[in-house]
């Protein structure tokens, strides 16, 4: 048993989601969105590195030494898995560990909008799940992939850094590839997936031009691509993708994206009104006939109106979703205000 496992056990017993270790501070856990300090001595450089070195394989440790940053998954003797990030900063060393639930939650257990199932029925196109770090993007993605695995017979390739949810064999052929271990980058993994007769590809992060170009190419070849970005609305997601490219390519990328895009789910997590859990709030954009022209135009105001008027199709703006959660008593007015896009509306 690794020494750090005792901290993980404390975190899990308290119902925490993340463990934060930083040199010169006591360990902290995130509990329902709030950081709580543990009753533990302040971490020195030697005590922290002892925790970190013991559970890190030689390849990942060497990468950490070379780049001052590394991501990997740690399996705690089959009891739980953790997404691990080691880093250096101005005050020394640090690490963050996020628990990966052993059970892949279905869309029903997540109480996800019914429209999410429609993304699983697509045969080609691009679906993006976006939001800040810790907003549950991976959990939502896992729920959609699980629905495909349960109801269809397809080849699914996931490319992640690190691999978080390991899906059991059901009706699909599933291949998990970890960046840095099984493939050099998201782009190289996506190239391999395109060549290997894949039906569905999950790209853990679409953060560079080559990966985005390959994802758009994959959709043109009849592949359904799921990807994530760190944006908080549909319009900002589209702008982020386009802004990765130089000026002389932006129009072409907007055109490609207009044909490929089938949906955007922007997600945020809010602490529940009773403080016992967290709820996911969603902005949902879905493809209908007018969408390609709106994407090509680059008019974010019209895109917002498109979502507002698409309620019958299953669309909703983030602020409307937050207002709905207030009315249902799921979250407080203050919590919704903090996450709202149009603050004056909530005042």
Tell me the CATH number at 272: 3.40.50.300
One domain for residues 173 and 311: yes
In angstroms, rounded to a whole number, what is the distance separating the alpha carbons of residues 212 and 187?
8
- Is 124 part of a structural domain of the chain? yes
CA distance 120 to 126: 11
The DSSP call for residue 311 is: G
Q: How far apart are CA 130 and CA 268, in angstroms?
A: 9
Cβ neighbors of 249 (< 8 A, separation 6 or more) are none
User: Which phi and psi (to 5°) does residue 199 adopt?
Assistant: -100, -40
Which two three-digit tokens encode residue 101?
């639930």
**pLDDT tens-digit series, residues 137-149:** 999 999 999 999 9
Per residue in 239-261, pLDDT tens? 999 999 999 999 999 999 999 99
Domain boundary among 74, 100, 126: 100
pLDDT at 133: 87
78 has pLDDT over 80: no
106 located within any domain: no
Same domain, 25 and 123: no
- Taking the mean position of all CA atoms in its chain, how far away is CA 214? 19
- Do the domain assignments include residue 107? no
Q: Report helix angle 247-260 to 234-243, nearest 10.
A: 130
* Cα 282 to Cα 264: distance, rounded to the nearest angstrom: 10
Residue 105 in domain: no
Of 42, 66, 100, the position where a domain reaches its end is: 100
Let me know whether 194 and 265 are in one domain.
Answer: yes
pLDDT per position as a tens digit, 46-59: 999 999 999 999 98
Same domain membership, residue 126 and residue 27: no
Same-domain status, 37 and 123? no
d(CA 166, CA 52): 23
Question: Which helix (H) or strand (E) is 92 found in, with range?
Answer: strand 92-100
What is the Cα–Cα distance from 79 to 110, expressed in whole angstroms? 22
CA distances to 90, 234, 239, 283, 300 from 304, rounded to whole Å, are 41, 8, 13, 10, 6
Co-location of 263 and 140 in the same domain: yes
**Whether residue 125 is found in the same domain as residue 60:** no
Report strand pairing: 173-178 vs 69-76. Answer: unpaired
Are 324 and 227 part of one and the same domain? yes
Same domain, 242 and 317: yes
Question: Please, what is the average pLDDT of the chain?
Answer: 95
| 95, 121: one domain | no
Within a domain: residue 110?
no
CATH number of the structural domain spanning residue 65: 3.30.450.90
Same domain for 124 and 89: no
Spell out the residues 6+ positions from residue 145 whose beta carbon is closer than 8 angstroms to its own.
Answer: 156, 158, 165, 167, 200, 202, 226
State the alpha helices, DSSP H only, in the chain. Answer: 5-14, 45-55, 58-67, 116-120, 137-151, 186-195, 209-220, 234-243, 247-260, 291-297, 300-308, 318-327, 333-339, 343-346
Say if 209 falls within a structural domain. yes
Task: Determine contact, residues 128/237, Cβ cutoff 8 Å.
Answer: yes
Q: Say whether pLDDT at 134 is over 90.
A: no
pLDDT at residue 308, as a whole number = 95
- 293 part of a folded domain: yes
> Quick one: tokens of 269?
């997590």
Residues 89, 126, single domain; the answer is no
Mean pLDDT of 221-229: 97
- Mind listing the pLDDT tens digit for each residue in 175-199? 999 998 899 999 999 999 999 999 9
Count of the separate structural domains present in the chain = 2
**Rounded to whole angstroms, how far apart are CA atoms 201 and 221?**
12
* Cα–Cα dist 157/204, whole Å: 11
Classify the C-alpha dihedral 217-218-221-226 as positive or negative: negative
pLDDT score recorded for residue 142: 97
Q: Which structural domain range is residue 254 located in?
A: 116-346
Within 13 Å, how many C-alpha atoms sit on residue 72's CB side? 22
pLDDT of 94 reads 97
pLDDT of residue 32 exceeding 90, the answer is no
């Amino acid at each position: 048993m690794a020494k750090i496992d005792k901290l993980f056990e404390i975190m899990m017993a308290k119902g925490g989601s993340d463990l934060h270790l930083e040199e010169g501070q006591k360990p902290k856990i995130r509990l329902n969105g709030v950081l709580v300090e543990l009753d533990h001595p302040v971490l020195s450089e030697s005590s922290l590195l002892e925790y970190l070195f013991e559970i890190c394989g030689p390849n990942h440790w060497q990468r950490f030494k070379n780049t001052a940053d590394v991501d990997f998954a740690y399996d705690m003797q089959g009891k739980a898995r953790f997404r691990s990030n080691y880093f250096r900063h101005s005050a020394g060393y640090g690490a963050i560990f996020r628990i990966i639930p052993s059970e892949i939650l279905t869309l029903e257990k997540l109480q996800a909008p019914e429209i999410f199932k429609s993304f699983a029925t697509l045969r080609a196109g691009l679906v993006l799940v976006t939001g800040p770090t810790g907003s549950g993007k991976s959990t939502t993605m896992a729920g959609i992939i699980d629905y495909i695995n349960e109801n269809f017979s397809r080849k699914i390739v996931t490319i992640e850094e690190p691999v978080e949810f390991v899906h059991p064999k059901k009706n699909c052929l599933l291949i998990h590839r970890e960046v840095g271990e099984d493939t050099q980058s998201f782009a190289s993994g996506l190239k391999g997936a395109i060549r290997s007769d894949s039906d569905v590809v999950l790209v853990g992060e679409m953060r560079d031009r080559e990966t985005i170009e390959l994802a758009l190419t994959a959709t043109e070849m009849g592949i359904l691509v799921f990807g994530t970005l760190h944006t908080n609305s549909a319009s900002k997601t589209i702008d982020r993708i386009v802004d990765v490219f130089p000026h002389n390519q932006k129009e072409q990328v907007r055109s490609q994206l207009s044909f490929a895009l089938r949906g955007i789910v922007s997600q945020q997590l809010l602490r529940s009104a009773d403080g016992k859990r967290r709820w996911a709030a969603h902005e949902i954009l879905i493809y209908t006939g007018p969408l390609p022209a709106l994407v090509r135009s680059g008019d974010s105001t019209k895109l917002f109106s498109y979502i507002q008027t698409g309620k019958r199709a299953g669309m909703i703006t983030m602020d409307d979703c937050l207002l709905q959660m207030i009315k249902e008593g799921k979250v407080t007015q203050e919590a919704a205000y903090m996450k709202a896009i149009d603050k004056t509306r909530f005042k």
